[in-house]
Structure 1
Amino acid sequence: SISAATLGVSVAATHAQVVEQETLGHSNGDPGQTFHMQFFPVLSLHEGETLEVEEQRHGEPVFVPWTCVSSFAHSTLHDRHFSLDAAAGTVELGPAVRQSDGTVRQYGRIPENGRAVRFSRYRYGSGANGNVPENSLQTLTSSFAYLARVTNLQRAVGGRDQETLDELKMRAQRELQAQKRTVTAGDYETLLKNYSRSIARVKCVSPQDDAQLKPGVVELLVVPEVGSALLAGDLGSLKLSSTFVREAKSFLDAYRLLTTSVQIREPHYTGVKVQAEIVVDDFQNPEQVCTRVERCLNQYLAPLAHGSAGADMPQLLPPDWEGWEFGRGLFTAEISSLIQRVPGVKYVVDMQIFTRVIDSEREQQRVPEIDAEDALTPLEERMVWIPKNGLVCSLAHDVRVADLEKILHRGRLS
């Protein structure tokens, strides 16, 4: 007998635009030349992505690849070296520096006058808009034999927009305050926060704060910068990778005291789902008001600030809001008050809160039972108790519009 089967293949994909053999200009024969790429920011260079300069070989013009370096300090006048400012898309060749004895030293090779300069290949883009939800990439731009369909089974992650001026100012302040040594809890928090832009928040816990920690142990609770993933409901993005933990600990080892050991983990997350019935103001779009309320809840019940409230509503949180305060409980009254302040909401008729413990590792494995209603615990008190050094996380909220006339009618009958 003959049987038929369908085969699937998984491949890695990157959100980026590719530019091939872009001509940057021609050399003028001077040291310290700069060339500008047409598109930026430029992603990290892979093998085969480099600067190429025209040279004569056996009477024929050929393009010779150059090497990208972070500094020209060790470059000689024979080295084909260049530096790349990826954010600005600027290529720079080695400078000539006058020495104390009056001689001039050339750092890096200078292309001959008139030689063409090009970039063999580079990729640009990959901002936060590339973090698309699962099953959203289903269009083939080119046809391939025996390929019926394509999709992304997991959400795309890792895309970040270029650092803003405000972020740069805050990072500069932290850098100035950092003393490159770890004595206090603030030292650990500042150093680790400066280690990577992929870190949103850091909380240092010492044995004085947690009796379960052994003497000499410092525990760092890290919240990754995954605001866009949380908005898409991807709670598994809160999981710290083993690679990140290993590299971050190695970074801190250079500054910690010899008698201190460092542990890095995620905080304890408590998922909160709000089920609410509201009455909207007259002449308001009910669907838009419900969406507005859900966005506001997502912004408030979050371990980090991600600014999801939108431009169509006033700022309901303080400007310096970084996310939920570690270990602070959640009162039901503050949720009612928050919803009431959302533009377009007239009354909050009914509200119920459900909770469950967030296991980021299980979330990554997408266990179906996690999202089942029986996995949620209805709140029977007036407060959600959050573990010490824990944080809250939004689940899928359910906001519905109530019929005020029916409510008033039931009230009259009773």
Structure 2
Amino acid sequence: MLPRIPLDDRSFESILQEARRSIPRRLPEWTDENTHDPGITFLELFAWLGEMQQFYLSRVPEANIRKFLDLLGIAPLEAAFAEAEVTFGNVRVPVVLPRGTKLQAEDQVFETIAPVRLIPIAIDRIVTRTEKEASDRSASNERGNVAFYAFGREAEAGSRLYIAFDREPEVGGVLSLHLKLANEALETPESVVPSARVTWKAYSWDEETGNSWMPLEVLEDHTMHLTNSGRVSFAVSVPMRPVIVHPAGDRPRYWICCILEQSGYELPPRIDQVLMNTARVRQQDTKSEQQLFDGTGLSDQAYASHSFLARYGKLRVQVREPDGRWREWRELPDFSQASADTQGFIVEREAAEGGAVTIRFGDGVRGAVPPEGSGNIRRIHCTEDFAELRFIGRSNGLPHQKIRLYDLPCKHKDSLRFQVRAPDKSSGQWLWEDWEPVDNLDRSGPLDRHYVFDPATGELTFGNDENGAIPWSSSEPNLCVTVCVFGGGERGNVKPNLLNRWVQEEQDELLLTVENPGYGFGGTEAETLEDCVERARLEWQTPYCAVTDEDYVRIAMETPGLKISRVHVLPNYAPGRDNPTAGAVTVAVVPEGIDDTPMPSKGFLSTVAKHLDDRRLITTEVHVVAPDYVKVTVHAVVVVEPHFMEEGHRIVAALNRLLAPLDQPGGIQGWPFGRTVYKGDIYGVISRVKGVAYVQDLWLDAEGKSVRKSGGGDLILSETGIVYSGIHRIELISRTQL
């Protein structure tokens, strides 16, 4: 079967029907529209010709489509690296794992994103305490299968979360916790203003105050005051002391405490687990990496690296020449035999696990001194097995060269960088030229060392000396990789407890255990050209500037890091002003919450306001406010059939569905902002309940801001008013009693 070609959305039938619909308007005297009429035959002919013309016009080559997308500043998305949280166990002594430490889940390699410091401390007990109760959550935290509220369901100010350790943390060290929240659904950017504020304390000893709860210095808080999952790190500056915290009263323990100082959570934080010795890893396998350092021009320059490849891989060192090319310096055992012109370095390794690997240059007498410069000293590290694969080919000096990389399955354009070896005419030695990846060579000049890398085919394409330079010709391989990273795609979204092996055998000697308690996340395949075109169409129709009411609703609902239930826009309205205000826009937002009347905090409103302020028209004045909730209570006397005398709860349920501020399942929309509650609405919903004969009497009560009752008993709300149900009072009377 031939592949389906993406034609224009107008088919033969749609063109023909559009033409036939225009006959009464354009030619009212044409009354015979049957198939035998010659005019209809001509319409069918031209519809066929139009469809065929669109067919050929729509057969645009893929290269042209990519050029069109490039004009719009859009390119297909590359495959994304998956990430996961891993927890290390059986930590007996302090250990530092270098950045890039490799772990394995089946055939997928993961690497630590940053250095990981492991300490021999475990969480012993967890206690939550509010004004009403204190609960031991240790069992829930250990299993990780039952989430618990960090500060109770109400999350009132003064509530506390206590965490105890099995031994005293070392003074002068760093204590890190990873809090995994159950109600987190999206990443929270730094621009979000937290809705609540917490402080951390530890039961410690001080010369002035003795044993007491003292503030902990927070080094980092990726949870943003327990808004989302992340790591919290503290500096332990004073000795901690054991103390008994109820209900964990069997023995004293070393406790820290998180205190909710300022309430305001829209969704009170629920914790799945509090973990220690946890780090984030990324599904990638770095075969070669490079690091740049600034030369000082002084003697005995030293540059340290704490990466995994620096410790376990092969090393090359290069120094940049004045013309921008790089000269490779060689490794020496020591400087005892070196002269002032010897371009070399020595390697110094720290004995501790995860210790730095340092390169040191000479002092100008024993060994040359690299010159001063910004980023003019480079370290290149690669794995042992990649050392033989780093030369990927040679240049023949011809334009439009193409080199296929069969052994390097890189899925990102920036995951592959290389140099080209070229002779130095003055010294006769070899120098290295850096080449940079670009999306295409259309904007490249004849001297630009650019190339195009296609991850899908693994093909390198060079220029023609007009659009992009041609690599130096060589009879031997002269293209050498400096950066090579494998990985990316959906397969990195591994299942829990699969990330449990070390790649480097030396690290097995640490006797550490590792596992991922949750799923991998974020790994995606590269975007196809068809998907990219569809995304471009959607983005073209998506408003990025707030002009109309619909724009404000859409942009406010998409505020990063927030969960918003409803948005209402009031044009030409400013809070506190009686008369309409030209150029003013007021946006009322309702957050998602666990109760019927969720209220946004000041931080929530500030975040939405900042998001809209960046996208408003320059002359528009934007206000973001909370909704004004009005509690409506219905008092009704209802006449029902005799066998429905016990069904009053159905009427109450119908009223609750009608007078709901939030959207409900089944397509039921919440009460519109500012809409008057008419008694007729209540009559109608009660009368539709099965078994109701009629409503004999009805009156409404309301509690809330800026609500008033009309002469007929209707409730008139403010512009930002929205209703919710009180405790309705329904009196049922049987028809037989009348």
The question of 1:383 aligning with 2:730 is answered no
Measured against aligned partners, the alpha-carbon deviations of 1:129-185 in whole angstroms (never above 9, x if no partner) come to xxxxxxxxxxxxxxxxxxxxxxxxxxxxxxxxxxxxxxxxxxxx9977432012223
Relative to structure 1, the CA distance from residue 379 to residue 252 in structure 2 (aligned partners, 3 Å threshold; closer, same or farther) is: closer
Q: Which residue pairs with 1:392 in the alignment?
A: 723
Of 268, 292, 311, the match for 2:650: 292
Of 670, 692, 703, the match for 1:356: 703
Measured against aligned partners, the alpha-carbon deviations of 1:377-402 in whole angstroms (never above 9, x if no partner) come to 98862322222343222222122323
Partner of 1:251: helix, strand, or coil? Answer: helix
Of 550, 554, 559, the match for 1:186: 550
Contact 2:553–2:567, Cα closer than 8 Å, also in 1: yes
Counterpart CA distance in 1 for 2:553 and 2:618 is 18
Q: Which is further off, 348-357 or 253-262?
A: 253-262
Q: How does 1:112-123 map to 2 (within 5 A)?
A: 117-118=499-500, 119-122=515-518
Aligned residues: 266
Counterpart CA distance in 2 for 1:218 and 1:123 is 43
Of 566, 587, 598, the match for 1:220: 587
Of 333, 336, 343, the match for 2:680: 333
Partner of 2:717: helix, strand, or coil? Answer: coil
Counterpart CA distance in 2 for 1:176 and 1:11 is 53
Of 623, 627, 642, the match for 1:267: 627
Q: Which is further off, 173-182 or 342-351?
A: 173-182
Q: How does 1:111-260 map to 2 (within 5 A)?
A: 117-118=499-500, 119-122=515-518, 177-195=541-559, 198-207=563-572, 212=579, 214-226=581-593, 229-230=595-596, 235=597, 237=598, 239-260=599-620
Contact 2:650–2:689, Cα closer than 8 Å, also in 1: yes
Equivalent position amino acid for 1:117 in 2: L
Equivalent position amino acid for 1:295 in 2: A
Relative to structure 1, the CA distance from residue 191 to residue 383 in structure 2 (aligned partners, 3 Å threshold; closer, same or farther) is: same
Q: Which residue pairs with 1:67 in the alignment?
A: none
Q: Which is further off, 343-352 or 264-273?
A: 343-352
Counterpart CA distance in 2 for 1:243 and 1:73 is 38
Cα distance, 1:404 vs. partner?
4.1
Partner of 1:294: helix, strand, or coil? Answer: helix
Greater Rg by CA: 2
Q: Which residue pairs with 2:113 in the alignment?
A: none
Q: How does 1:38-57 map to 2 (within 5 A)?
A: 45-47=229-231, 48=278, 50=280
Question: Which consecutive residues of structure 1, in runs of 5 or more, have no partner in the other structure?
Answer: 1-6, 21-39, 59-71, 78-95, 125-172, 309-318, 360-375, 409-414
Cα distance, 1:405 vs. partner?
4.2
Q: How does 1:20-39 map to 2 (within 5 A)?
A: none
Contact 2:637–2:733, Cα closer than 8 Å, also in 1: yes
Contact 2:628–2:705, Cα closer than 8 Å, also in 1: yes
Cα distance, 1:212 vs. partner?
4.1
Partner of 1:183: helix, strand, or coil? Answer: coil
Relative to structure 1, the CA distance from residue 178 to residue 290 in structure 2 (aligned partners, 3 Å threshold; closer, same or farther) is: farther
Equivalent position amino acid for 2:144 in 1: V
Equivalent position amino acid for 2:626 in 1: E
Relative to structure 1, the CA distance from residue 109 to residue 247 in structure 2 (aligned partners, 3 Å threshold; closer, same or farther) is: same
Cα distance, 1:294 vs. partner?
1.3
Counterpart CA distance in 2 for 1:181 and 1:18 is 43
Partner of 1:277: helix, strand, or coil? Answer: strand
Equivalent position amino acid for 1:262 in 2: V
Contact 1:205–1:220, Cα closer than 8 Å, also in 2: yes
Q: Which residue pairs with 1:347 in the alignment?
A: 694
Cα distance, 1:249 vs. partner?
1.7
Relative to structure 1, the CA distance from residue 176 to residue 244 in structure 2 (aligned partners, 3 Å threshold; closer, same or farther) is: farther
Contact 1:218–1:262, Cα closer than 8 Å, also in 2: yes
Equivalent position amino acid for 2:558 in 1: N
Equivalent position amino acid for 2:630 in 1: T
Of 634, 644, 669, the match for 1:322: 669
Measured against aligned partners, the alpha-carbon deviations of 1:247-286 in whole angstroms (never above 9, x if no partner) come to 11222232123333321112333321002233433444x4
Counterpart CA distance in 2 for 1:252 and 1:242 is 15
- The TM-score normalised by the length of structure 1 is 0.50
Counterpart CA distance in 1 for 2:580 and 2:710 is 31
Relative to structure 1, the CA distance from residue 248 to residue 121 in structure 2 (aligned partners, 3 Å threshold; closer, same or farther) is: same
The question of 1:101 aligning with 2:460 is answered yes
Contact 1:270–1:392, Cα closer than 8 Å, also in 2: yes
Relative to structure 1, the CA distance from residue 45 to residue 334 in structure 2 (aligned partners, 3 Å threshold; closer, same or farther) is: closer
Contact 1:269–1:357, Cα closer than 8 Å, also in 2: yes
Relative to structure 1, the CA distance from residue 377 to residue 256 in structure 2 (aligned partners, 3 Å threshold; closer, same or farther) is: closer
- The TM-score normalised by the length of structure 2 is 0.30
Relative to structure 1, the CA distance from residue 349 to residue 75 in structure 2 (aligned partners, 3 Å threshold; closer, same or farther) is: farther
Cα distance, 1:18 vs. partner?
2.0
Counterpart CA distance in 1 for 2:632 and 2:538 is 32
Partner of 1:244: helix, strand, or coil? Answer: helix
Contact 2:587–2:625, Cα closer than 8 Å, also in 1: yes
Q: Which residue pairs with 2:641 in the alignment?
A: 281
Equivalent position amino acid for 1:18 in 2: G
Counterpart CA distance in 1 for 2:595 and 2:499 is 40
Contact 1:76–1:109, Cα closer than 8 Å, also in 2: no
Relative to structure 1, the CA distance from residue 213 to residue 120 in structure 2 (aligned partners, 3 Å threshold; closer, same or farther) is: farther
Q: Which residue pairs with 1:18 in the alignment?
A: 144
Of 301, 310, 316, the match for 2:659: 301
Q: Percent same amino acid at aligned positions?
A: 23
Relative to structure 1, the CA distance from residue 332 to residue 116 in structure 2 (aligned partners, 3 Å threshold; closer, same or farther) is: closer
Equivalent position amino acid for 2:609 in 1: K
Partner of 1:402: helix, strand, or coil? Answer: strand
Equivalent position amino acid for 1:402 in 2: I
Contact 1:19–1:121, Cα closer than 8 Å, also in 2: no
